[in-house]
Structure 1
């Protein structure tokens, strides 16, 4: 559309010039003048492909009829495209030749043509207005475009470098975390598994042996999960996006693994009851993983803070939401030792049991769980119940 308007403007301006309204009038018939002006307009319309036809039409029209619009537009595009050395010099040489021919034609035709092109002052003014200024404008526009393009490329390069540096820093931090987890956490969990296995072999009764076996099994599962996490931390980003064709990793737990988690919790002495409501249906894997983590964290808190209090796990499938509730009873009151009438314990040799110590990192589980649920657009609600129990409830869009 822009070049159509340019061609129409050059046609109209050229026709006005040759008719004498804004230039030197010509004695040629109007149809001939209209055809010449139309040729100038078509050449200007095609200037996006090549500006040389417009320059030729402009040179002939200026030398013969002092028709300056096409030569002015051609000079602008010459400044946009020609090299700053020989190309510009050759174009200026050709324009000087056109001005000389126009001066000779003006001397031959006399009148207004001679006044416009053969007079030295007018010839210089016309050359500057028709050739010099448009050429300088084209050179300035091209220089500005080159500066902006260079600035854009530099900004893109700096952005790419910044992304690469950030990715490198993330990779180094992931590797550092993986090393720390491997050297510290995995080592300590391995020691727990080894000691539990030794305890199972040396146990004097079946209950102790079963408890030691359960501890060893949970520790081995923790090592497997830790190995999966370390594999994720050490994986390049493109492998995390599903492009990894390497070895298989253990899939993250889903609702299908919930019964195994409940069995492990029951083995710790906590009475857990599961209730399923609604028609079970497939949901997104991320939703199932989050629901599993909600139950896992809630039952862990029951074991840490409520002792052997019973818990109810409720999974409710809605039309567009998955609800998970874990409600535990109030923790049992601490056992008081029988005392003598004087207030002394009956067994002076037995020392009172020390209070339960708070585990390192306590308090962060529910915060991370809330973030995990909210990332999926859900909500997590935790509050104390009447009678001393506790409720963890999550609603996850599914």
Structure 2
């Protein structure tokens, strides 16, 4: 690309130099035909000045202002540099602001005065123009000659600035689009990470509790062992299905269908809601966690799917933490309408594990992710140790989600 640009610049420079020499040749031939070429010394000086003016055009890109002022200064002594002067004026109009363009035109008009006085036009003299008239005519002619290339150059400059502005705007829009896409991908990753934590932590803690029962209850019969082993296998299968579905969404991206996300032709499984909390409690009871569910929601009033999904995740996280940090302790799950426009979820359990129960390690990130999830849903959350009625200390997780009356 750079080589192509250099070749194009060389071709343009050669074209400008050829036009400047051709203009000088035409003007010189016209002066010879009219018999006003002047003495030989003057002709030689004009030839040398014209050669210098044409060669100076090679520097018009690097020093457009200096070259233009040099050309208009030479125009005060010889008319043969007119072509080079117009090309230099065009270069200034392309590369410099209008104030410098006006300066070049002004100097060019002023330079026409001494030339008109030293080399008066015979036709104007025959028409009765004196020195002042010759000077005015020279200024007018110089202004008329310089106006077209200067105007053309300013149009070219405005077009280039417009193209550069459009290109910069397009690049900025592309960069902003990439940034927005990256932010969307980041939010998608965070959503998937929270989903994986909520789902897998629940399944794995269930498997851990059942496996712990097999380890501690050595007096279990073969039928009971088989039942517990079947529960572990079912939980592991469900965990793998959940993981496969989430990874399928991750591979497909937003709006796509994962390559491994379920059976071919099958859509994603329905998202859990408030109606699925009872099944979630039953799973925890089957794992040996005593859970009491108090459902005080008004009959016949459906919870919006987004609110129900968040409520399900709140209860799931509460039960998961209870199994991890207080296994064997009774857990109270409460659902109720708070006021007129909120769904109140409460998960409360006594702190500490019973004798013989082992505590599972936690990542300490579930409640943080849950807080963000509830906040994005427009609700609020509160959790921490609370004084129990029997004088002990309970851990209480509460959330209030928006649930406007319909």
Task: Give the TM-score normalised by the residue count of structure 2.
Answer: 0.50
Contact 1:308/1:331 (8 A) holds in 2:
no
Q: Which residue is equivalent to 1:375?
A: 376
Structure 2 residue 308 is the aligned partner of structure 1 residue 288 = yes
Aligned residues: 257
Query: How many Å separate the matches in 2 of 1:161 and 1:363?
Result: 33
Contact 1:384/1:391 (8 A) holds in 2:
yes
Does the C-alpha gap of structure 1 residues 359 and 160 become closer, same or farther in structure 2, counting only changes over 3 Å? same
Contact 1:117/1:123 (8 A) holds in 2:
no
Which digits, 9 at most, give the CA deviation of each residue in 1:183-222, with x for residues without a partner? x99xx99x99xx99x99xx962554444333333333322
Contact 1:382/1:391 (8 A) holds in 2:
yes
Query: How many Å separate the matches in 2 of 1:161 and 1:385?
Result: 47
Cα shift at 1:279: 5.0
Structure 2 residue 161 is the aligned partner of structure 1 residue 144 = yes
Cα shift at 1:142: 1.7
Which digits, 9 at most, give the CA deviation of each residue in 1:275-312, with x for residues without a partner? 22345533432221111011111112222222322222
Structure 2 residue 257 is the aligned partner of structure 1 residue 252 = no
Contact 1:265/1:272 (8 A) holds in 2:
no
1:305 to 299, 314, 325: 325
Does the C-alpha gap of structure 1 residues 157 and 291 become closer, same or farther in structure 2, counting only changes over 3 Å? closer
Q: Which residue is equivalent to 2:142?
A: 124
Aligned 1:99-110 pairs, distance under 5 A: none
Query: How many Å separate the matches in 2 of 1:239 and 1:110?
Result: 88
Which digits, 9 at most, give the CA deviation of each residue in 1:68-108, with x for residues without a partner? xxxxxxxxxxx99xxxxxxxxxxxxxxxxxxxxxxxxx99x
1:222 to 239, 245, 263: 239
Q: Which residue is equivalent to 1:319?
A: 340
CA-atom RMSD in angstroms: 4.9
Cα shift at 1:315: 1.4
Contact 1:314/1:326 (8 A) holds in 2:
yes
Name the stretch that deviates more: 151-160 or 315-324: 151-160
Q: Which residue is equivalent to 1:265?
A: 284
Does the C-alpha gap of structure 1 residues 272 and 206 become closer, same or farther in structure 2, counting only changes over 3 Å? farther
Q: Which residue is equivalent to 2:32?
A: none
Query: How many Å separate the matches in 2 of 1:273 and 1:161?
Result: 47
Query: How many Å separate the matches in 2 of 1:116 and 1:280?
Result: 103
SS at match of 2:334: strand
SS at match of 1:363: coil
Does the C-alpha gap of structure 1 residues 147 and 286 become closer, same or farther in structure 2, counting only changes over 3 Å? same
Contact 2:328/2:354 (8 A) holds in 1:
no
In structure 1, stretches of 5+ residues that fail to align are 1-78, 81-105, 336-352
Contact 1:273/1:312 (8 A) holds in 2:
yes
Contact 2:380/2:400 (8 A) holds in 1:
yes
Contact 1:298/1:326 (8 A) holds in 2:
yes
Structure 2 residue 256 is the aligned partner of structure 1 residue 239 = yes
Contact 2:333/2:347 (8 A) holds in 1:
yes
Contact 1:382/1:390 (8 A) holds in 2:
yes
Which digits, 9 at most, give the CA deviation of each residue in 1:220-264, with x for residues without a partner? 3223222222222222333179xx994322222211211111111
Does the C-alpha gap of structure 1 residues 234 and 249 become closer, same or farther in structure 2, counting only changes over 3 Å? same
Does the C-alpha gap of structure 1 residues 159 and 326 become closer, same or farther in structure 2, counting only changes over 3 Å? closer
SS at match of 2:255: helix
Does the C-alpha gap of structure 1 residues 368 and 385 become closer, same or farther in structure 2, counting only changes over 3 Å? same
Contact 1:116/1:123 (8 A) holds in 2:
no
Query: How many Å separate the matches in 2 of 1:280 and 1:228?
Result: 32
Contact 1:294/1:324 (8 A) holds in 2:
yes
Task: Give the TM-score normalised by the residue count of structure 1.
Answer: 0.51
